[in-house]
Structure 1
Amino acid sequence: MRPLRYSINITLDGCVHHEAGVAPDAESMAYWTREMERADAQIFGRVTYEMMQDAWRRPPSGVWPDWMEEWEHPFADALDRAKKYVASNTLASVDWNAQLLSGDTGAVVEQIRRLRAEPGEGLSVGGVTLPLALADAGLIDEYAFMVNPVIAGHGPTLLAGLRDRVDLELVDRQDFASGAFLVRYRPVKGKAGLA
């Protein structure tokens, strides 16, 4: 079985909107690149997939756009070549090294359960809605939160609507020069919510 890791940027008040945190810098992008490279595949919902594709898909010219800093290229390269799974009921097809996971929430959760049961290094999930369903199903083996020194005051919050409490144990903490810090947790074995 390969572990399913949920990683996301959040604010101090738990907001997960991608524009609410601190802008990425070379240090945080290097971290996210390493995380991506240790996964066999990325799993996204439709909204996250489209957002990531709009920002990080290699242009047809093969040359990254001028707006992209050189230190962002390794992240862009890693995401561009990564295997991806996309959970969606509205997309008819996907590309960009992606495979569609369709059906209702229960069907998608079961497809991801089967992917998780395969051998490998691990799977990474991002976004807001899909990780909530996976956490409710007890499928997330590791949570990694990059906590940014910002109070957003509004926006979607981390795992809002989770059915059951998930007790976690801290396994790592890393501080960043920007004032952000990364905390990595695993669910406590034997507690409710574990699959």
Structure 2
Amino acid sequence: MRPLRYSINVTLDGCCHHEAGLPPDKESMRYWTAQLERADALLFGRVTYEMMASAWQKPATGTWPDWMVEWQLPFAETIDRAKKYVVSSTLSEVDWNAELVQGDLAQAVQLLKQEPGDGIWVGGVTLPLDLANLGLIDEYEFLVQPVLAGHGPTLLAGLREHIQLELVDRHEFQSGAVAVRFRPTRLTA
């Protein structure tokens, strides 16, 4: 069964708005590219899918926009070619190498996890909360930014039950950010 990994940038005070932390740099983009390469597929909710597509979907011209700098290209190429699944009750179709996921979320994600492969990567705010509440996330990865945002959406706000985690990896960045990766501990009777 392939694991479902939740990854997101988060400030020290728990804000997970995409503009709240430090701006991307070469080191963080290399890190996120490597994390995406560990996944066979990406799982997005509608909002995250639309936001990511607007920034990282290769234009029909086949040429990346002028605003994109060279060190962003590996990330752009990786996310652009990745297989994507989009959970939405409002979209009727998707593009960008994506497939629409509708219906029972738990059942649909369990089926995706049962497919062979190395893993599924999920980002965003709302969908990961639903997946955490269903107990479907196998790994949590937070790139903790040395910033206090003071406002914005917070990490897993509304989680129904306490989830105990164990640290499995840690990586420090020159910027002062720290990536920490956790797995839920499984209680045995």
State the distance in 1 between where 2:180 and 2:38 align.
17
Residue equivalent to 1:4: 4
Residue equivalent to 2:33: 33
State the distance in 2 between where 1:167 and 1:119 align.
27
State the secondary structure of the residue aligned to 2:31.
helix
CA displacement, residues 79-103 of structure 1 (integer Å, 9 cap, x when unaligned) = 0000000000110100110000113
Q: CA deviation at 1:108?
A: 1.9
Q: Please say which of residues 113-122 and 145-154 is displaced more in the overlay.
A: 113-122
Q: CA deviation at 1:109?
A: 2.4
The aligned runs of 1:54-73 (5 Å cut-off) are 54-73=54-73
Q: CA deviation at 1:60?
A: 1.2
State the distance in 2 between where 1:118 and 1:68 align.
34
Residue equivalent to 1:141: 138
TM-score (normalised: structure 1): 0.95
Residue equivalent to 2:156: 159
State the secondary structure of the residue aligned to 1:92.
coil
State the secondary structure of the residue aligned to 1:61.
coil
State the distance in 2 between where 1:43 and 1:134 align.
11
CA displacement, residues 148-169 of structure 1 (integer Å, 9 cap, x when unaligned) = 0110001100000000000000
Note if 1:122 corresponds to 2:119: yes
Q: CA deviation at 1:37?
A: 0.8
Among the aligned pairs, what percent are the same residue?
65
State the distance in 1 between where 2:95 and 2:62 align.
17
State the secondary structure of the residue aligned to 1:23.
coil
TM-score (normalised: structure 2): 0.98
Size of the aligned set, in residue pairs, is 189
Q: CA deviation at 1:118?
A: 1.8
Note if 1:17 corresponds to 2:14: no
Note if 1:109 corresponds to 2:93: no
CA RMSD, aligned part only? 1.1
State the distance in 1 between where 2:24 and 2:3 align.
26
- Structure 1 contact 15–154 (Cα < 8 Å) conserved: yes
Code of the aligned partner of 2:92: A
Q: CA deviation at 1:120?
A: 1.1
CA displacement, residues 53-112 of structure 1 (integer Å, 9 cap, x when unaligned) = 000000111111111111000000000000000000110100110000113xxx122101
Q: Please say which of residues 109-118 and 19-28 is displaced more in the overlay.
A: 109-118
Q: Which runs of 5+ in 2 are unaligned?
A: none
State the secondary structure of the residue aligned to 1:20.
coil
Q: Where does structure 1 differ by over 6 angstroms across 4 or more consecutive aligned residues?
A: none
CA displacement, residues 97-151 of structure 1 (integer Å, 9 cap, x when unaligned) = 0000113xxx122101111122210100000000001101111010000000110
Q: Which runs of 5+ in 1 are unaligned?
A: none
